[in-house]
Amino acid sequence: MMVIMKPGHSPQEFDAVMARIREVGLDGHPIVGVERTVIGVVGLDREHPELADDLEVMDGVESTVPISSPFKLCSREFRKHDTIVDVRGVKVGEGTVTVIAGPCAVESPEQVMLAAHAVKARGASMLRGGAFKPRTSPYSFRGMEVEGLKILAAARDETGLPVVTEVMSERSVDAVAQYADVLQVGTRNAQNFFLLEEVARTNKPILLKRGMSSSMQEWLLAAEYILAQGNPNVIMCERGIRTFETAARNTMDINAVPLIKELSHLPIVADPSHGTGKRRLVEPVALGMVAAGADGLILEVHPSPDHALSDGAQSLDFDMFESVMGNVAKVAAAVGKRIESSVPA
């Protein structure tokens, strides 16, 4: 449920409401707006049928409203305005198209530095790169781990591009949080609920990939695990789902963009690299996702895709990335947006 406070309520009245919520073992999540303060009450509130009545008669409370969707804090019902995630000054969800680009995996300092400068020069505003790689086979290249994180941080220091990188397990959350600006939870961990809670506690923005067979509801409930820990900075990422189709690596679900926007206030970016698995499909699918309203793109770009240690087939070279950026700018303009500009070094 949501508790709507009266305009001009006192801090003491607010504290008393929060205390009453906690007294029954539930959590209160305040949103302080310009005109109104709203408190989201989460936990098993149906086990406290009397709570809504009790809160409604407290001083400073205007009303209580039930939230009908199973996800609460990430629902549009809870928050009407779009959430804007701010990553060191780079905004996601502010009516711009934020481009995150870089290699699938960190392979060497030279590879990352080359890619970081190249994507920045072509208009990306964040750098991606995996240091911990979830690989289907244990014999594939699994990433440079902490050494890779240090390389990413050095590239950030040199270019000013904030770094997005995956955290695969609770055991590496602290290390990843020490170096990264955005923690990515991958498709294979999208419903690893303990990991979601652990990444949330770092208070860093989280890029939450859609599980490869997650419904909208399952995906939003995964986001809810993060918001319920008090971390509102979640970026949803559509990266394609498993279907009967084998012609592409995954099936990119364009519906996800307008659906997430309807159901939730969270920003959503699209990953046409993993969504298609084929570099020639990346540009057209990227343009479609931007046209549908995506708040950004995450794209795999490698100095020499044919020599990449992972996901070379879907990685763009610098010229292809330049072409994508040029056409993304045109589609963005057609839907009343611009590309989010990168921060100066």
Applying CB under 6 A, the residues found at the interface with ligand PEP are: 104, 130, 134, 186-187, 209, 239, 274
Q: Coil, strand or helix: which one is 66?
A: coil
DSSP state of 130: B
Q: Coil, strand or helix: which one is 98?
A: strand
Report 295-334 residues binding Mn ion (CB under 5 A). Answer: 311
> What's the min distance (Å) between Cβ of 132 and ligand PEP?
10
Closer Cβ to Mn ion, 186 or 232, answer by number: 186
Closer Cβ to ligand PEP, 135 or 338, answer by number: 135
Question: Cα 197 from chain centroid?
Answer: 15
> Which residue in the shown chain puts its C-beta closest to ligand PEP?
186
H helices of the chain, where?
A: 11-23, 51-56, 109-121, 145-159, 173-179, 193-200, 216-227, 256-263, 272-276, 279-291, 318-334
Q: Give the binding-site size for Mn ion (rule: CB under 5 A).
A: 2
Closer Cβ to ligand PEP, 79 or 239, answer by number: 239
Please check whether residue 315 is in contact with residue 104, taking contact to mean a CB–CB distance below 8 angstroms: yes
Closer Cβ to ligand PEP, 68 or 136, answer by number: 136
Binding partner selected for residue 75 from Mn ion, ligand PEP, none, CB under the kind-specific 5 to 8 Å limit: none
Closer Cβ to Mn ion, 42 or 100, answer by number: 100
Contact window for Mn ion (CB under 5 A) among 97-105, 116-124, 147-155, 174-182: 97-105
> What's the min distance (Å) between Cβ of 254 and Mn ion?
20
> Which residue in the shown chain puts its C-beta closest to Mn ion?
104
> What's the min distance (Å) between Cβ of 31 and Mn ion?
35
* Residues with Cβ within 8 Å of residue 5, at least 6 apart in sequence: 13, 14, 17, 36, 37, 38, 39, 60, 61, 62
Counting contacts by CB under 5 A, is residue 104 touching Mn ion?
yes
Contact window for Mn ion (CB under 5 A) among 35-43, 87-95, 104-112, 278-286: 104-112
C-alpha span between 193 and 195 (Å, rounded): 5
Closer Cβ to Mn ion, 104 or 168, answer by number: 104
Binding partner selected for residue 209 from Mn ion, ligand PEP, none, CB under the kind-specific 5 to 8 Å limit: ligand PEP
> What's the min distance (Å) between Cβ of 16 and Mn ion?
50
Question: What DSSP letter does each residue of 215-264 carry, written as one string?
Answer: -HHHHHHHHHHHHTTT---EEEEE--B--S--SSSSB--TTHHHHHHHHB
Counting contacts by CB under 5 A, is residue 176 touching Mn ion?
no
* Residues with Cβ within 8 Å of residue 319, at least 6 apart in sequence: none
Contact window for Mn ion (CB under 5 A) among 102-110, 177-185, 194-202, 219-227: 102-110
Q: CA nearest 105: which of 25, 31, 168?
A: 168
Binding partner selected for residue 134 from Mn ion, ligand PEP, none, CB under the kind-specific 5 to 8 Å limit: ligand PEP
Residue 238: strand pairing partners: 270
User: Across the chain, how many H-helices and E-strands are there?
Assistant: 11, 14
Note the residues at the interface with Mn ion (CB under 5 A).
Answer: 104, 311
